Amino acid sequence: DGGITQSPKYLFRKEGQNVTLSCEQNLNHDAMYWYRQDPGQGLRLIYYSQIVNDFQKGDIAEGYSVSREKKESFPLTVTSAQKNPTAFYLCASAGTGLLNEQFFGPGTRLTVL
């Protein structure tokens, strides 16, 4: 059963704490993405990766970090430098073939206490 999984579903962070959001895919996709969604707004790109051991900053990368050590995994760390991290975080993947259709995980809701 192919797809994208994200964990945890809900995450609470104290101020000054770093937290890591997990994203795993078994679709054999090369490209993976992290988006942030705030109420009433479209998705904003945080980081993306086209291939293992390579990733690029998106539009709102400040205060976030990622790694891509395996094709299947693209974890996102929200650092204490991110001043307003409360949001819904979505991970996606896409093949790099002709279609380039994006598929999304179920999301992680992060709340700062």
Partner 1 sequence: KQEVTQIPAALSVPEGENLVLNCSFTDSAIYNLQWFRQDPGKGLTSLLLIQSSQREQTSGRLNASLDKSSGRSTLYIAASQPGDSATYLCAVRPLFNTGGFKTIFGAGTRLFVKA
Binding site for partner 1 (CB under 8 A): 4, 6, 31, 33, 35, 40-43, 45, 48, 50, 56, 58, 88, 90, 92, 94, 96, 98-107, 109
Question: Nearer to partner 1 by C-beta: 2 or 40?
Answer: 40
The smaller minimum CB distance to partner 1, of residues 18 and 28, is found at 28
Side chain identity at residue 53, one-letter code: N
Closer of 85 and 105 to partner 1 (Cβ) = 105
Determine if residue 71 is left, alpha or beta; phi over 0 gives left, psi from -120 to 50 gives alpha, anything else beta. Answer: alpha
Closest separation between CB of residue 101 and partner 1, Å? Answer: 5
Side-chain-facing half-sphere of 107: CA atoms under 13 Å: 10
Q: Write out the two tokens for 98.
A: 């002709």
Q: Which amino acid is at 45?
A: L
Q: Whole-number minimum distance, CB 30 to partner 1, in Å? A: 9
Q: How far is the CB of 80 from partner 1 (least distance, A)?
A: 26
8: preceding bond cis by omega (within 30 degrees): yes
